[in-house]
Amino acid sequence: MKKFTLLLFGLLVFSACLNTDNDELNYTFEYLPIDEAITPASFTYGQIDTIAVKYSLPNGCYHFNQIYYEPQDTTRIVAISAFVELDSPCTEAIIQEEKKIPVKASQLEDYVFKFYKGKDSNGENIFEEVVVPVN
């Protein structure tokens, strides 16, 4: 009888220690449109230059995650990746930020930058293309 009581007491203590609250973070990642891209008039081969991108975080639940930068031949696709908290109280303030991207001109061909501008009514990605020649 003592073992049975001890077993019941142990199960009661164990179940009380289990965390039944759903404390898991609820989040997702999104690509944000680039409001403005500032590129140099040209690159000098072998030199490092800087591109600045300006973007807006829609509310307080959005946080900068990283710059998405994908080279494809002479084209570079650029977007902002944001970490978005779900099920959290958020401020409604729009936060505008700017990031600088160092680019080393390692090709003699012109660079074609495709800056992500959002999605159209059909859900297709929209890009602004900027060509930067290399001297």
Q: Is residue 107 part of a domain?
A: yes
Structure tokens at 20: 């039944």
Which pLDDT band holds residue 111 (cuts at 50, 70, 90)? Answer: very high
Residue-wise pLDDT for 61-94, tens only, equals 999 999 999 999 999 999 999 999 998 899 999 9
Q: Is residue 17 part of a domain?
A: no
Contact 44, 133 (CB under 8 A): no
Which pLDDT band holds residue 97 (cuts at 50, 70, 90)? Answer: very high
Question: Tokens 């997702």 label which residue?
Answer: 28
User: Which of 3-7, 19-23, 112-116 has the weakest average pLDDT?
Assistant: 3-7
Q: Is residue 11 part of a domain?
A: no
Q: Is residue 86 part of a domain?
A: yes
Q: How many domains does the chain have?
A: 1
- Kind and range of the H or E run holding 90: none
Q: Is residue 78 part of a domain?
A: yes
**Proportion of the chain in helix, strand, coil states, percent, rounded to 5:** 10, 55, 35
What is the span of the domain harbouring residue 125? 25-132
Contact 33, 116 (CB under 8 A): yes
> 6 — phi, psi (to 5°)?
-65, -40
Task: Let me know how long the chain is.
Answer: 135
| Distances in whole angstroms, Cα of residue 76 to Cα of each of 53, 65, 79, 87, 115 | 14, 19, 10, 35, 8
Q: Is residue 12 part of a domain?
A: no
Whole-model pTM: value is: 0.78
Averaged pLDDT for residues 34-47 = 97
**Of the candidates 14, 118, 101, 111, the residue with the CA atom closest to the CA atom of residue 66:** 101
Residue percentage of the chain with pLDDT more than 90: 80
Quick one: pLDDT at residue 1?
56
